[in-house]
Structure 1
């Protein structure tokens, strides 16, 4: 099978390409560096030509309201090109609980992306993942002030990027779900506790202060970012990943 992996040079995309090639498929990575622009549409027709499956792993450059325009334009362009090329399966990566956090612009933008895919004519699969383990450094930086990091007690269930890539590649090789697959790491943590574990493993002397009003995840209520019933659970545990 031939796979066009849009965003195929990024953190997840590059691993998806490797996994698909290891399974014996033709997986072609596409990104601005290869001449493909999903906003202007440049190179899109050529990128999806002859592809059995399109895997879209691109992401908005911002997490604010501008992300809505990014996902609308990129999905309109990608779906139009895929429909014209006769693509039989379109896969995107989204977020567990994304439709239950209306207070975050970025989450509303990802819901828009999902809705555009569902409304299109190409058979599809949506893989929703919990928070990436690799994002903890960024999360810590958002609310750092000197020797203190403020984090809420929001429950999370982190998953390793390599596990996400394997699930995406597996889904892309299968029949379209015309629905959602939820994936998550094996362990739940309050975000503030996860921050303390991370700093300790890095021998970072900063202190995590619990503050339920701090940072982006303060807008999340309850355990909507953890694995729902029926989710596939990845094997990598956070302490092992840190080590």
Structure 2
């Protein structure tokens, strides 16, 4: 990527061999470091969630989330706490320090682990592992495409957000209908939506770097980017698990 027209990235000195460094070198290095930080946070968050989920199931704590008639009070708290963390980050990020944003992200990943521990009750461990690695492969390919494509995905993003809202409404309705056919359709649509969002969010995060590079907000932007990709990955995994997971 050549940025010689941008005065911020004009070469400052010659190398010892007498050649002038390419103007885009520092720029690309900064972008790579930024994206690597995003992926590191995202992957670490997924790992933390997985470890907490497995420990919660192995310890038997997961069974305290249920009563004979449905989720217990603790179960409802565990189910809805992740949403509180996301809202806190989304609406309070400008008032929070970078350290507070990072701590909130790790807290969110931990609570998500408690919430997702229930999948070990409903699905076999082997199918969970298979779907997880399939999701990881799909996520890597989609994110790479979103990072490298020259196509503007902003229009697709608007369509996907509208689809996501419809998906949430349909999921809420199906809580009361308990329709297997509707759940099947929701899962298929969910996979497609979050596959598209993975590419869209990756491009958005990449473009965000150009706005926040060198500012105090850069550290917060890394965490928020990681959160977006984390949610894309987890949701795609959960919908694929509904479609292809082997039930206990």
Structure label with greater radius of gyration: 2
Higher relative contact order (CA 8 A, sep 6+): 2
TM-score range, shorter chain: under 0.3
Bigger strand share: 1
Q: TM-score, normalised by structure 1?
A: 0.25
Bigger helix share: 2
